[in-house]
């Protein structure tokens, strides 16, 4: 399960940010994970408690925002979720699109108090 390694890397990045900015406590970490990302949000959530156990982030909440896998139809310009519509444009039924979102994995926010 590579999600545990991903969570460790997130904590490493957050810890670096915390030290650089002299932050004393982090209340919440917000991640953005695209529907086509290699990370599975449910597994990230399951790994999180083990990754932060006995660290300064033990009481820090994790929030995950799922970003849609949106594509833009090359025929009519419609923007649609390619997963929900099985890669078929709901407007013109074309199967040709440019992916515009869905592969992201970002630390969106670190809420400090």
CB 31 within 8 A of CB 63: yes
Q: How far apart are CA 112 and CA 5, in angstroms?
A: 24
∠ Cα 73 103 112 (to 5°):
130
Of 54, 61, 55, the residue nearest 26 (C-alpha): 61
**Number of domains composing the chain:** 1
Determine the distance from the C-alpha atom of residue 23 to the mean position of all C-alpha atoms in its chain, rounded to a whole number.
Answer: 23
Domain membership of residue 83 as a residue range: 3-112
Contacts of 58 (CB under 8 A, 6+ apart): 52
Per-residue model confidence as pLDDT tens digits over 28-72: 999 999 999 999 999 999 999 999 999 999 999 999 999 999 999
pLDDT at 43: 95
Q: What percentage of the chain exceeds 90 in pLDDT?
A: 97
CATH number at residue 70: 3.30.2320.80
Indicate if the pLDDT at residue 1 is higher than 60: no
């Amino acid at each position: 399960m590579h999600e545990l390694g991903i969570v460790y890397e997130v904590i490493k990045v957050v810890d670096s940010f915390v030290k650089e900015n002299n932050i004393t406590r982090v209340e919440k970490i917000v991640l953005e994970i695209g529907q086509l990302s290699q990370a599975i949000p449910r597994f990230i959530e399951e790994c999180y408690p083990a990754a932060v156990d006995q660290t300064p982030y033990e009481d820090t909440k994790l929030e995950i925002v799922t970003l849609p896998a949106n594509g833009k139809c090359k025929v009519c310009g419609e923007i649609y979720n390619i997963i929900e519509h099985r890669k078929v444009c709901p407007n013109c039924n074309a199967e040709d699109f440019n992916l515009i979102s869905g592969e992201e994995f970002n630390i969106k926010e670190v809420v400090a108090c």
